[in-house]
Structure 1
Amino acid sequence: MAQKFPRDRFDAIPHGIDRVGAHRAPARRGAGWIAFGWAALATVVLVAVGIGAVVVFNDRLNFLAPPASTPSPEPVVTAEPTIAPDLPVLVLNGTTTSGLAAKAQEALVASGVPVGSTANASENDLTETVVYYATPDLEGAARGVAQFLPEADVRLSEQFAQIGTPLVVVLGADYATATAG
């Protein structure tokens, strides 16, 4: 048989509370938002510290010394274009366009550049026109020849010095296109 105990203070439940047991008080309204706010604040602080650490470790932020100014690169000194009347130029056609070397020869001779001979290059699919010079002291003469050829570049090449030709023009597709009109 069940025993009956006298009523005490633990048996008195306030009105509106349907809980039985430990008789905890109801949770305050908005208590969840306070926990969320603290978690968001902790996240923001940790992200800021992480970004700051990455910036410092990657040398993007330096509190010790002002940034050193980088010296500006020195300009490349090139030789002044000159025409060397004692250096005949070899003109090679590096394209499949017939008569291109002869056309370049006419333009160069009309400009006062002596042309020794013309021929087809060993390759016929070159895209750019280049004036090769054999030694550094011939750069000015090579630039003098290049100024009369549209799209021409100037390069040092000891390959042609070995065959005894100090200045060689190799015509490419860019010259063929520029003179097609």
Structure 2
Amino acid sequence: MPKPSYPRDRFDDAPVEVDRVGAHRAENPHLRAGVIVIWAAVTTVVLIAVGVVGTLALTGRFGTPAAGPTTAAPTTSVTPVIDTSFTVLILNATGESGQATVAQDAVVRAGWDVADVLPSEAGSTYPTTTVYYADAADQAAAAGLAKIVGASSVVLDDQYQSTTDAKGKQLTVVLGTDLVAPSGSPTP
């Protein structure tokens, strides 16, 4: 039987060294695995950064100073009052252990129940002993507590306000390094 002869078409000129069979094509030589890994790493970093900034913005902590009171309220125009209806949170930021317990004892001697005074250690040191209060109406009570613990500053700020306090009224004392003498003993 004679071999049929077909006319030439574009498929007769296909190069022999191309790695393909039928419609399957070879890999794109311009697609590099390293470039894909770099793009994936950059995208991951950007997404994490956007998530962190977004979370900080949504929780109201974006742009808050790392340390120090935001606004100091003058204590000269307010008559200090000892109001034992508040829960008192004491944070020891002096760098010396045991200072929160010393302050707790002073507050309990002034009339608070032991269960209403919560001593704790802070995560870092703070230069100035400060009493924080969350409501402007509580300024006189904060000034009274400041006299008891020897605080030099009273600040209106809800940064330390507890959301789980049953009474809903809390004063926070941050014991600063100004409260401790260089020998490590509390100042009078």
Instruction: State TM-score, norm by structure 1.
Output: 0.52
Give aligned pairs, total.
106
Letter in 2 for 1:97: E
| Contact kept? 1:102, 1:118, Cα under 8 Å | yes
Cα drift, residue 121 of structure 1: 1.4
What is aligned with 1:156?
Answer: 156
**Deviating more after overlay: 92-101 vs 109-118:** 109-118
Q: Could you tell me which residue of structure 2 aligns to residue 94 of structure 1?
A: 93
Q: Which amino acid aligns with 1:158?
A: D
Unaligned 5+ runs, structure 1: 1-74
CA distance in 1, matches of 2:108, 2:162: 25
Matches within 5 A, 1:99-114: 99-114=98-113
Distance 2:122 2:133 in 1: 16
Contact 1:149 1:175 in 2 (8 A): no
* Shift in alpha-carbon separation, 1:167–1:76, aligned structure 2, 3 A: closer
Q: 1:113 to 1:175 in 2, by over 3 A?
A: farther
Number of the residue aligned with 2:170: 166
Residue 170 of structure 1 aligns to which amino acid in structure 2?
V
Query: Is the contact between residue 93 and residue 171 of structure 1 (CA under 8 Å) also seen in structure 2?
Result: yes
1:112–1:152: structure 2 CA closer, same or farther, 3 Å change rule? farther
Q: Distance in 1 between matches of 2:80 and 2:157?
A: 18
Report the identity percentage.
33
**1:121 pairs with 2:122:** yes
Counterpart of 1:131 in structure 2 is 131
Question: Take 2:172 and 2:155, find their aligned partners in 1: how far apart are those partners?
Answer: 10
| Structure showing greater Rg | 1
In structure 2, C-alpha distance between the alignment counterparts of 1:78 and 1:128, rounded to whole Å: 21
**Native 8 Å contact 2:146 2:153 kept in 1:** yes
2:107–2:117 CA contact under 8 A, matched in 1 = no
**CA shift at 1:136, angstroms?**
0.3
Once the two structures are superposed, the pairs formed by residues 138-149 of structure 1 within 5 Å of their partners are: 138-149=138-149
Question: Are the equivalent residues in 2 in contact too, given 1:83–1:144 (CA < 8 A)?
Answer: yes
Letter in structure 2 aligned against 1:111: A
